[in-house]
Structure 1
Amino acid sequence: MVVDEPHRHSSERPRDQWIAVGSIAAGTFLLVTAEFLPIGLLSRLATDLQISEGAAGLAVTAPGFVAAFAAPAFVLLAGRADRRLIVTVLTAAIVISCLISATAESFHFFLLGRLILGLAVGGVWTFAVAVGRRLVSSGSGARATAIISAGISAGTVAGMPVGAVLGEWIGWRATFAATAVLGVLVVIAQLCFLPRLAPARAIGVGGLRAFARIPMARIGLIASGLVAAGHFIGYTFLEPYLRGALRLEQAGVALALGGYAVAGIVGSFLGEQLAVQNIRRAFVVVSALLGVSVLAAIAATGTAVGAIGMVMVWGLAFGAVPVCVQIWMFTSSPDLYEAGSALMVSAFQISLAAGAAIGGVLVDHAGIAAAFIASAVVTFGGAATALLSRPSWATTHDADSPLGKQI
């Protein structure tokens, strides 16, 4: 499907177009907030469900593994279905997942809710940015990508502080229930503001293979997978790091995570500005900064202010990663962007799940510092992959796109 095609809804006012993009961004925010809520609630989940903190990390890994297989399956099954219907149904699945998690009496039932969330993760990540780019003019595609990616970044960085703060105030069950209520509002907004969006063509297995054969696409998938794995080796256990290594009380944890969240949102738009100039350089810079900030956070453990400052730099760097990855996939082949999004989700989610699992093993057997060091090393590997590989991308580009530049 050509996702950055000439604007199909010229009869709509520009404000309505951006409100529609905003409803998708709200959906991505909801999705990723729900995905990462357990990270901010890890200690409480482990206590209430009578499991170790390392085992509780499965609440993060389980959706990732499901999403990795669901993403390409959704592309193949979606055919010519209305993308508006697909997006709203997947958002409703987030609501169902949160309700199951809120009422779970055992860890196994809790995981059932997380597996349903994994289906939503695979689908929303695959279609959200592709749909968002179609809602606006071709020249505004990068900004639509940044706004929707800001929802992803905001959810990534807000899920933990929201979980930590609300978990303290109202308990982890009520936190998941409140997220479900927010989800209902997002579904209503999407039904009200999203227009019908039939795809230009269906994507089959051949489309997935064609995208995977593009050298630039393969490099992006490998590099982003390494960065995702590196990030989540450490990020999954950021809340225990703040409470344990830095010995912060609840107010200090909330302050640190809040700073991380704000920095991540800023990072999304910084990533857009860097990516439209030179996508390879942007990806390498933000990935390297991510690795450096994780190491610096460990090095600054003795100084709470310095460590919190490095955590904020961490948030800034990772906030730029989703938008850089999405723009890299679009730059690799605009004509196969849905296929690229699906493969990117698979690579990213497998890496997320693997990273969280590796981090759990390291935390349980060697401590948080070891997990953070491993996090930085793997992240540097992703930056090096992008830096040292230089094949060209597909030659099919939108003439109005600012992304048709040498990378």
Structure 2
Amino acid sequence: MSLTKAALREKQGATFRMWLSVLTVSLGIFSMITAEQLPVGLIPAISSELNVSIGSGGLTVTIPGVIAAFASIGLPLAVGRLDRRILMAGLLAVMAAASVISALATNFPVLLASRLLVGITIGGFWAIAGSIAVRLVPGPSVPRAMTIVFGGVSAAAVLGVPAGTIIGDLVGWRGAFWSLAFLSFAILLAALLVLPKLEAAQPVEVKALRAQLRNPALLSGVVATALLVAAHYGAYTFVSPVLLEVSGVTAGSIGWLLLGYGILGMIGNAVAGVWAAKSVGRTLACIVIGLGATLALFPLLGVTPLTGTILLLVWGFAYGAAPITLQTWVLSAAPESAETATAIYCFTFNLAISVGTLATSQIVDTMGVNRVLWVDSAIILLVLLPVCRAPMLNRNIGNS
């Protein structure tokens, strides 16, 4: 694009088609993250029908997380300058196919194989989404575009699981996967229709990765992300058994309770977006203390349906504020290498999900859900250490 055309594009502002492109990318991320977490609310039903333990059922979350972690760096490195529109369409097609395989799975190994494909799509899509958003609209509209795109991550993190659980209660866990397949296919069609040609402007390179791995501010953010995400998902993967066994809620109400969790999470995301721009450190410290305390108190106070519901909603608000705060930390630590830093962040985030769920899967059958919540609470509180050791978090990010 010539300078004259670029200047004209800036002056004209974002068009309706441009915003449709941004929304398509956001929906794509929503479908990817939802796919990763979809089994969380379905584990009891999946485990029962496929004759595996609750702990083994947690592998349906662990496997895609591990694969996504390595795909978030490996796939951008492998595809080089491939048109991102083609890459996104291909990943959405694989996601739709994987969801169909999950819905048709007749045994647990087949289901796990389909989840491996899901992991590839998640890592690749999420890693390139941020850089794509910047290129879809003129400069003045980029902040709003970024908010919409990463809003897909937050929306999936807090709404994807309850939506899948409700669908699972209504039509069975296979129906939830069929719904995801249809959603992925619809987004694939939208991507082919509205996205422009998107050649890779600054592809991720090994040299840039090595440079950012020597960035102390980024590394502190990576440690904080690893601890918080691993502990949260270690507990949240088994939130259904927690609500059933500790709080005594009915199985049919879990989906609606998780929807309430999701709504509070969206509110937490909105509040944290404002607070984190002023002080990432103070915002994250509040999140850590609130989330850690909630998990620690759940086995003690959440022993009735009412108190369990209240603590679940607090849990949703606290964790809903976490992803945008951690993302703000990462981007502020590497403003000149946003795509590379985001790839590292995605790697850490997804690997942490896998480590947390795998570790919990190994101990939940012997320790019980109460002790799991206490262990994860202690790990979350450890996030205060990297927060205190990162001086850059004390300044206003908006002025950095």
Q: TM-score, normalised by structure 1?
A: 0.90
Partner of 2:108: 107
Partner of 2:282: 281
The code of the aligned residue for 1:308 comes to T
The code of the aligned residue for 1:223 comes to A
Partner of 1:327: 328
Distance 1:197 1:254, change over 3 A: same
Partner of 2:3: none
CA-CA distance at 1:9 after TM superposition: 5.2
Unmatched 5+ residue regions in structure 2?
A: 1-5
Distance 1:141 1:381, change over 3 A: farther
Asked if the contact 2:260/2:313 (under 8 Å) is kept, the reply is yes
Question: Partners in 1 of 2:294 and 2:23 — Cα distance?
Answer: 30
Question: Partners in 2 of 1:116 and 1:278 — Cα distance?
Answer: 38
Question: Partners in 1 of 2:179 and 2:242 — Cα distance?
Answer: 26
The code of the aligned residue for 2:234 comes to I
Partner of 2:342: 341
Question: Partners in 1 of 2:79 and 2:65 — Cα distance?
Answer: 20
Cα deviation digits, residues 38-84 of structure 1 (max 9, x gap): 11110111111111000110000001111111111122123222222
Question: Partners in 2 of 1:260 and 1:138 — Cα distance?
Answer: 35
CA-CA distance at 1:367 after TM superposition: 0.7
Asked if the contact 2:248/2:304 (under 8 Å) is kept, the reply is no
Partner of 1:405: 399
Show the 5 A alignment for 1:154-303: 154-303=155-304
Unmatched 5+ residue regions in structure 1?
A: 1-5, 394-401
CA-CA distance at 1:26 after TM superposition: 0.9
Q: TM-score, normalised by structure 2?
A: 0.91
Cα RMSD over matched residues? Answer: 2.2
Deviates more, 1:89-98 or 1:227-236: 89-98
Show the 5 A alignment for 1:24-39: 24-39=25-40
Question: Partners in 1 of 2:202 and 2:129 — Cα distance?
Answer: 17
Asked if the contact 2:279/2:393 (under 8 Å) is kept, the reply is no
Question: Partners in 1 of 2:322 and 2:48 — Cα distance?
Answer: 33
Deviates more, 1:107-116 or 1:374-383: 374-383
CA-CA distance at 1:110 after TM superposition: 0.6
Taking only the aligned residue pairs, the percentage that are identical comes to: 30
Partner of 1:87: 88
Question: Partners in 1 of 2:144 and 2:92 — Cα distance?
Answer: 23
Distance 1:294 1:392, change over 3 A: closer
CA-CA distance at 1:140 after TM superposition: 4.8
The structure whose residues are more often helix, as a share, is 2
Question: Partners in 2 of 1:295 and 1:143 — Cα distance?
Answer: 37
Asked if the contact 1:67/1:123 (under 8 Å) is kept, the reply is yes
The code of the aligned residue for 1:241 comes to V
Question: Partners in 1 of 2:174 and 2:301 — Cα distance?
Answer: 34
Asked if the contact 2:41/2:255 (under 8 Å) is kept, the reply is no
Distance 1:142 1:129, change over 3 A: same
Distance 1:73 1:38, change over 3 A: same
The code of the aligned residue for 1:323 comes to I
SS for the counterpart of 1:245 is helix
Asked if the contact 1:296/1:307 (under 8 Å) is kept, the reply is no
Distance 1:391 1:262, change over 3 A: closer
Partner of 1:357: 358
Cα deviation digits, residues 288-329 of structure 1 (max 9, x gap): 322222223333222322221221121122222222222222
Question: Partners in 1 of 2:52 and 2:18 — Cα distance?
Answer: 46
Distance 1:403 1:104, change over 3 A: same
